[in-house]
Amino acid sequence: MRKKIVAGNWKMNKSYAEAIDLINNIINANPNPTVQLIVFPPAIYATELVKLTTSTPIKVGVQNSSQYDAGAYTGEIAASMLKSVGVQYALVGHSERRHYFNEQNSDLALKVNQLLKNEITPIYCCGEILAEREKNNHFNVVKNQISEGLFQLTENEILKCIIAYEPVWAIGTGVTASAAQAQEMHLFIRNSIVQKYGNKIADQISILYGGSCNAKNAKELFSNQDVDGGLIGGASLNATDFIAIANSF
């Protein structure tokens, strides 16, 4: 059985007080324990959120991490530092980081390596822009993203990763991939893992859907065979919506 996961990417939102309020509301809602909930606050709040969630089933991640070990990299946060404050997950290659910060698959491969070296679980994001889908090039794009960012890993290492398929045209737009489009791409990703690592490994890797997923459409999306949960942006900023999504399996 693959892990069911609902992850909330808070992006660059919330004051400190609002972040504390949001995590307390999520904790107090007693979320479904069969679903792994992970929150991705702005990194500056991570230490405090780790403390607040310690005796709860909720885990804390960050939205980015450095591809370097340590040293003269102004503004960066090393995976070892994240580990030292109890962060257990990190997003890698979210489309906003690829777009605004020019992150390339080769950088992302290094980030994944750093995270695994520090026992932090990467959630590796992939997904095509609209023009690529319209040219029917979306499978190639996603295949390249996962091959160049993840397929450097050994069998043992890839088993420690989670993948999030996030079609860029669906992120923050209110347009969701249909359940059929999501399932088709998730199956394609799983089959790509089968080709590289075999069935037994591919069967164990959780693949999340992201892109305007909300309390209304989550059930239909999550009912697909190869959709193991969601990476949620906008709807994760409200505890009631986030919990409703977690209860949609």
Helix residue ranges per DSSP H, the chain: 16-28, 46-53, 79-84, 95-100, 105-117, 130-134, 138-150, 155-158, 179-197, 199-202, 218-222, 239-246
Spatial distance between the Cα atoms of 1 and 249, rounded to a whole number of angstroms: 14
31 binds ligand PEP (CB under 6 A): no
Of 101, 140, 172, 240, the residue at the interface with ligand PEP (CB under 6 A) is 172
Q: Does 232 bind ligand PEP (CB under 6 A)?
A: yes
Give whichever of 4 and 94 is closer to ligand PEP, judged by the CB atom.
Answer: 94
Taking a C-beta distance cutoff of 8 angstroms, is the pair 231, 208 a contact?
Answer: yes
Chain-centre distance of CA 104, in angstroms?
17
| Active centre residues (catalytic) | 94, 166
Q: Which of 231, 239, 243, 245 binds ligand PEP (CB under 6 A)?
A: 231
Structure tokens at 92: 């890698």
Q: Which residues in 30-41 are b (16+ Cβ under 10 Å) and which e? A: ebbeebbbbbbb
Residue with tokens 């500056």: 44
- Judged by CB under 6 A, does residue 210 bind ligand PEP? yes
Tell me the residue number closest to ligand PEP, measured at CB.
233
Is position 166 an interface residue for ligand PEP (rule: CB under 6 A)? yes
Name the nearest CA neighbour of 50 among 20, 14, 15.
20
Strand partners, 36: 5
Which stretch in 50-58, 115-123, 165-173, 218-226 sits in contact with ligand PEP by CB under 6 A?
165-173
Stretch that binds ligand PEP, among 18-26, 43-51, 145-153, 208-216 (CB under 6 A): 208-216
C-beta of 233: minimal distance to ligand PEP in Å?
Answer: 2
Per rule CB under 6 A, is residue 212 in the interface with ligand PEP? yes
Task: Compare residues 91 and 158 and give the one whose CB is closer to ligand PEP.
Answer: 91
233 binds ligand PEP (CB under 6 A): yes
Q: Shortest gap between Cβ of 166 and ligand PEP (angstroms)?
A: 5
Residue ranges binding ligand PEP (CB under 6 A): 9, 166, 171-172, 210-213, 231-235
